[in-house]
Structure 1
């Protein structure tokens, strides 16, 4: 916070304009300086992340509204989706099969019908689950909505490790609980057992999932997007409390892609 000095007032007087107009011109000069922050192109702050204004003779600055969107992009880039936002778009999602057309149409419809609803895509590995969910996140970001990406295996491990440290635990989980749009990728992903079956998630995993999803379940304002190799029934088998919340919120936008190696486009 800087007070406009008396010398500036005298200079304003000598130019024949009011002090208020002179001071505002100085503010306009500061606001016109071009910045170089990434994430979005903001004409308000010129990509500096701050805007300047006058109040009671003081030169003040505040964080620009665009910073929430920039942090969303930066978080997504750091968490494993860097470069994928431009690649995993609706335009690039190919639909030669009927199930792909239905998935793409449903995902687009979700963007205008998401209040109080979640979206779930489960099933076959390599069938485009992450692609379609990332495309949805990208569209929310374009609309100026803050979003976060959570790769379940990585983030759940960090959160569980901090369970005895209240500050660190809250620092890790609270942003995921409260962000307007959360995409959870590979939800409840585990290794296979000796018979080739997926192991059940640990109680620690279930505790994290319940705290996170129960908080978001209780607010119609929070959008949750989930992709997983598991079906909804398999999520219910893992934990009924978690699964029932996922089922209730995603029943209008839930797709499970049948297991078929021909649908694994990574092998093509």
Structure 2
């Protein structure tokens, strides 16, 4: 499966890593559907930038934390761009808070997007992605590290990695690969704390933060024919952070 002439849907793609993945897939020749929940202006800017470079792209608003909206997203994407070959489940939120101080509202907020939203995105992808396609769920290298104040985020992403392992077994007969992509400390709006940014630089052998493009290039590989023999894996794009 070549990325060229394929259709890709990327959730949470108006900014940061999601936008960079959308840009990479469009540059590789895919028609890209950018999903966003709230940031319409950012989504329109992403569409304009990709289109200016000759890419085929459109944006669809949907809150994937709501199963009915996730379903609508896929229906509208198929109606506008045709059958889907590549799905990247990227939409996520981050909340830094000690576990002992986290509220039920905090739990619901984080798990609604990061876990429930990804689950139903993967469910629609499993039903709709064409044989030989690619499904990628964005996780984090933090699931194997011990970070304080990140229990909700890391717990939600740990579930995503289990979804990926199971789904890869369920879709193997259709030659669909299913993998998790695990960024490290990446220079996006989500990484706004100066202490966390300094830690990310210190933990990487490259002594810098990752860029959205660093992560997107790995996603582009996982979406390509070259990654046909990789499935059920969590693939690091973390700059050597261990």
| TM class, shorter-length | 0.3 to 0.5
Q: TM-score, normalised by structure 2?
A: 0.32
Q: TM-score, normalised by structure 1?
A: 0.30
Greater C-alpha radius of gyration: 1
